[in-house]
Amino acid sequence: MTITARLLPLFLLFAVVSCGGLLPEPAPPPQLYTLTPAADFSPGRAPVAAQLLVDMPTAPAALDTTRLALSRSPTTVDYFANAAWTDRLSSMVQSLLVASLENSHRISAVGRETAALRADAILMTELRHFEAVYSGSGPPQLRIELNLRLVKMPERVILAQRDFTLTRPAARDDVPLIVDAFNEAWHEIAPQIADWIADGLNEVRR
């Protein structure tokens, strides 16, 4: 048998594979989504002369992912297909907190707790809920719940602690509109957080 005859079956096999008959189609990449920092704050309040560092938030493993979470019962967590955040949820929320607090102009300096910088206080955040909740046949409710602790430095004493919770209905059961509802909810809750932090930092400076 010639070399050509021996190679012919292999050539035919590769030809079939290259036609796509044996290889599955790759899954399409997910559509990426992000939220925008709050920028609309009540004017007229003087900034606090204090420096704040925002620590990386903590979150349950089911939430701390790039996937958009949904819940159909109090004991279940699922995810939207073909949709993802542009970053892990904890990292995205840290960025939103830093940028929103900077936009508020309520605090003289804000940064991330990543380089052991000196500061008057550290904001520690626990993400307890950040998902779309389905309770019937209609569009979901977006639920955000953050537990915030304002920690005085260098004593590491908790100055204040508070839960911030907000729910908002999505216009339709459609991922882009659900993300829009998340964004609107963040823009509503961020000014409340900024005011609460500024009030707590005023205590630090006294």
End-to-end Cα distance, the chain: 95
- Say if residue 8's pLDDT is above 70: no
Q: How confident is the model at residue 25 (pLDDT cuts 50, 70, 90)?
A: confident
- Say if residue 59's pLDDT is above 50: yes
pTM (predicted TM-score): 0.85
**Which residues lie across from 167 on neighbouring strands?**
143
pLDDT per residue as tens digits for the range 73-102: 999 999 999 999 999 999 999 999 999 999
Candidates 101, 149, 143; CA nearest to 126 is 149
Average pLDDT of the residues of the chain? 88
- Say if residue 175's pLDDT is above 70: yes
Instruction: State which fold the 48-205 domain adopts.
Output: Rossmann fold (3.40.50)
What average pLDDT does this structure show over 119-142? 95
Query: Domains of the chain: which residue ranges?
Result: 48-205
pLDDT at 16: 41
State how far Cα 22 lies from the chain centre: 39
What average pLDDT does this structure show over 98-113? 94
Candidates 203, 205, 183, 157; CA nearest to 38 is 183
Residues belonging to the chain: 206
